[in-house]
Amino acid sequence: MGINVAIIKPVGNGCNLQCKYCYVDGKPSKIEHMTIQMGKRIVDELFAQEDVNEIEFLWHGGEPLLQPISFYSEIFKYQNKKSNETGKKYENSIQTNLTLLNDDWIEFFIKNNIIISTSLDGPRELHNINRCFPNHEGAFDRVQKGVALAQERGCKVNALCVVSKSNVGFPEAICEEFDNLNINHVGFLPCYKTENDRTVIPSLSPGEYGLFLTKVFDLYLQGKTNVKIREMDQFLGGTIGFQQDICSFTGHCDHFICIDYAGDVFSCDTTPQNDIHRFGNLQTSSLLALTKTAKYSCFVKSIQDEQLLCKSCPYFEYCHNGCSNMRVNGRYYYCEDRKILFSYFEKVIKDVLSEEGKNDSSNRCFTV
Ligand code: SF4
Ligand code: SF4
């Protein structure tokens, strides 16, 4: 199987915010824009893969709304043309801080079926600790306005919540805020950073993240929140044979690729974007050629080798050693957290089953 998710950074790491915990090592001094020509080249390369029939384009940043609508408009028309020619399906989603959202963007998103995800770390006082404009003003109010604007026009908004030392102690307040904003699908991403040539983890101590997720799950079970954690979907999906679809659970980083504004290709946006980790550039190589290089093969092999470390773990099939960029000495930094959470899911499932067994009269007729 080839690459079916492309994380595209149409303005590189350029952003209108200056979040204190931003994972990018050294913010660019100016905004660099991907050309339409490069955007089309990326579309060509992804559609050209013989063994891929569905492609997800994830527009990321930095802040992708710093690229004008006219850019996306051209690229989306081109995707449509390629899809008609090849019969392959595709989808676009955008990860945006929503602070630049206006009616024109909303209209454009609706017209093009764009899936919107924003970044929100909880209520104002928690969100604004880290997520602010260069003048230090917190971004919460602008995000809230963006969410309302999108929802008024019928667009669903999902969210990523970065879990850091600042908010890990407040699962109830965070869920309450997402409920207030009518956002149910939230990915809780542990805070990380890139420094020089490596991804640095993290501000959370082992166990803190797992406990946080367990609490959110409890709130959901008790009917106190509508926020679902994706870990539960991935775990349950795995137990009943559904295909898991999030890389940090499937262990398939090799289905992903990250492409910067200039066409530089990396394995992921969590990878430091520098020469050490760059596989090459799409101006001079095809995607297929880059995935055949010794450097790329080495990357895939190292991920597979690290998974061997976990083979005896009872949760291996659901976890696969977590995100490959968040490993320390080959093991997922949040290994303990996953074990806490997965064993908790198991307990809840067993409790439900034994409760149902007790109440099921068809079971009782076989007893003396
Ligand atoms: S490095 Fe982590 S986030 Fe990136 S593709 Fe791999 S598992 Fe996913
Ligand atoms: S829970 Fe830990 S040991 Fe088990 S697969 Fe995940 S990272 Fe590996």
Q: What is the pLDDT of residue 71?
A: 98
Nearest CA to ligand 1 atom 6: 253
Q: How far apart are CA 150 and CA 107, in angstroms?
A: 9
With a cut of 70, say whether residue 244 has pLDDT above it.
Answer: yes
Report CA(305)–ligand 2 centroid distance (Å): 14
Report CA(206)–ligand 1 centroid distance (Å): 19
| CA 129 from centre of chain | 22
| Helix residue ranges, H only, the chain | 36-47, 69-86, 103-111, 124-130, 140-152, 171-180, 208-221, 230-239, 247-250, 287-290, 294-308, 316-319, 335-359, 361-364
Residue from 23, 191, 248 whose mutation best tests the ligand 1 pocket (most atoms within 8 A of CB): 248
Which one of the ligands is nearest to 250 CA? 1
Which one of the ligands is nearest to 317 CA? 2
Q: What is the pLDDT of residue 22?
A: 79
pLDDT in tens, 116-137: 999 999 999 999 999 999 999 9
Mean pLDDT of 319-331: 90
336 Cβ below 6 A of ligand 2: no
Burial class (CB in 10 A: 0-12, 13-18, 19+), 132: middle
With a cut of 70, say whether residue 201 has pLDDT above it.
Answer: no
| pLDDT bucket at 354, cuts 50 / 70 / 90 | confident
Higher pLDDT pick, 40 / 232: 40
| pLDDT bucket at 234, cuts 50 / 70 / 90 | confident
pLDDT in tens, 169-188: 999 999 999 999 999 999 99
pLDDT in tens, 275-286: 888 999 999 999
Q: Give residue ranges with CB within 6 A of ligand 1.
A: 247-248, 253, 256, 268, 270, 323-325
Average pLDDT, the chain: 90
Which residue from 235, 270, 76, 259 is spatially nearest to 160, judged by alpha carbons? 270
Residue from 244, 316, 333 whose mutation best tests the ligand 2 pocket (most atoms within 8 A of CB): 316
Nearest CA to ligand 1 atom 4: 268
Q: What is the pLDDT of residue 365?
A: 42
